[in-house]
Structure formats: structure tokens, C-alpha cells
Amino acid sequence: MPRRHPFSRPSGRLPQRWLFTDARLGDAVLAAAAALPPGSGIVIRDDDRAPGDRWRLVRHLARIAKTRSLLLLLAGPPALARRWGAGGVHLRRHHAKHAPQARRLGLIVSMPVHDPREARTARRARADLAFVSPLHPTRSHPGAPALGPAAWLRLARLAKAQAIALGGMTPARARALHRASAHEIPPGWAAIDHWLEKAVKRRS
């Protein structure tokens, strides 16, 4: 019987606040993870790291996650996420076919959504989480056009999953999106720079 992560709901909603790891953060990602409120989540990407280096990063994040009750999702094959002890898997569109395998392994499934095609892919895959982006301009993808609230909400509705906003997000922007949704879709939010800046403030 697959091991279930403590956040793999029997009881309800998944985390509403998330950190996305990014290669440009380097080891500062550990400080950003430690700045997350308890009960948040982390999506570990860092696909360009060497396997051994990526494994060490996951182990460090897992220790932080254990002390702060964080949910870890790993971008990559479900079997790897299961083997490395993640609670779920982040599947890009070309890996959507692995969603049934992920569910059999007891993993939460998240997918990125940037356009209607990806939203429909997430819906067909019955993703638990849809990271809809970019809501605002972001340093992670310089020059990429921002969706804005109206287009973001359309994609969130189309994906039929718990929707998380990504792209230039801050707590104030998350509250504004919540108001714009008129409580129809209680949106979560994810960030990179916000959590890094919070970690720097904690240190100083």
C-alpha cells in the first residue's frame, strides 16, 4: 500500500502558500524555505542540477519540511518523487500522461497552467493543483506577458483544480486576487522572490 504524505488530504484543502525553487536561488532556497509559514508547500524544480546535488537539496528541504509541516512536490517522474519521499509530483504538460501512475503511488498531482491548452490538460489529468501563471510580470520569465486577474480566473475555472497564482506574487497581490475572484475560486499563491526577501529580513 503506497505511503501517504500527511498532507495528502484525507480532510480537505491543500496548502494555499507555496515556494517554487529556482536555479538562480542556489543554496539561498533553504533560507527561503525556512521563512515559509507552517503548513505551506514547496515545488522543487532545479532540473538542471546534477542528480546527486539535487538529491542533497531535497534532503535538506525535507528536514525543513518536517519541522514546519510543509508539503514537498518534486518536478519529474512520479517514481522518483515517491522514492525521494515527496508528498506529490509536479507534472509539466508533456508528462501529464503520468498522472494516473502518480495517483496509484499515493501522490498529489500538480501541473503548470499558462494557457487554455494547459488548463484543459490539467483538467483531463484530474490534477489536484493548478499553478496558473504569470499573474503579474516576473523576474523568472522576463518579458513574458502577464495574464491579469480576469484571464487568470478564466484559466483557473477551466483547469478545474485548486488554483494557485504564480508570477510576481506578494501577500497584498494575493488578497487583491481573492477579492477579484468574489470568493468563487479561493486562490492560493506561490512565489520565489517574496520568500527570499522575507528570509533576508529575518536574518537582518
| 9 occurs within a structural domain | no
Residue whose C-alpha cell reads 484543459 in the numeric block: 120
| 4 occurs within a structural domain | no
Give me the tens of pLDDT residue by residue for the chain, a chain 204 residues long: 334 444 333 345 799 999 999 877 778 899 999 999 999 999 999 888 888 999 999 999 999 999 999 999 999 999 999 999 999 999 998 999 999 999 999 999 999 999 999 999 999 999 999 999 999 998 776 677 899 999 999 999 999 999 999 999 999 999 999 999 877 788 899 999 999 888 888 776
For 22, phi then psi, to 5°, come to -150, 140
Q: Angle at which helices 148-159 and 171-180 pack, to 10 degrees?
A: 70
For 203, the grid coordinates are: 536574518
| 144 occurs within a structural domain | yes
**18 CA to centre of own chain:** 6
| 10 occurs within a structural domain | no
| 136 occurs within a structural domain | yes
How far apart, in whole angstroms, are the C-alpha atoms of residue 204 and residue 191?
21
Question: What single-letter amino acid sits at 62?
Answer: A
Total domain count, the chain: 1
Angle at 43 between CA 60 and CA 166, to 5 degrees: 140
Question: What single-letter amino acid sits at 135?
Answer: L
pTM score, whole prediction: 0.90
| 3 occurs within a structural domain | no
- Domain CATH for 50: 3.20.20.70
pLDDT of residue 4: 42
| 6 occurs within a structural domain | no
How far apart, in whole angstroms, are the C-alpha atoms of residue 132 and residue 4?
26
For 50, the grid coordinates are: 546534477
| 7 occurs within a structural domain | no
Residue 175 structural domain: 17-203
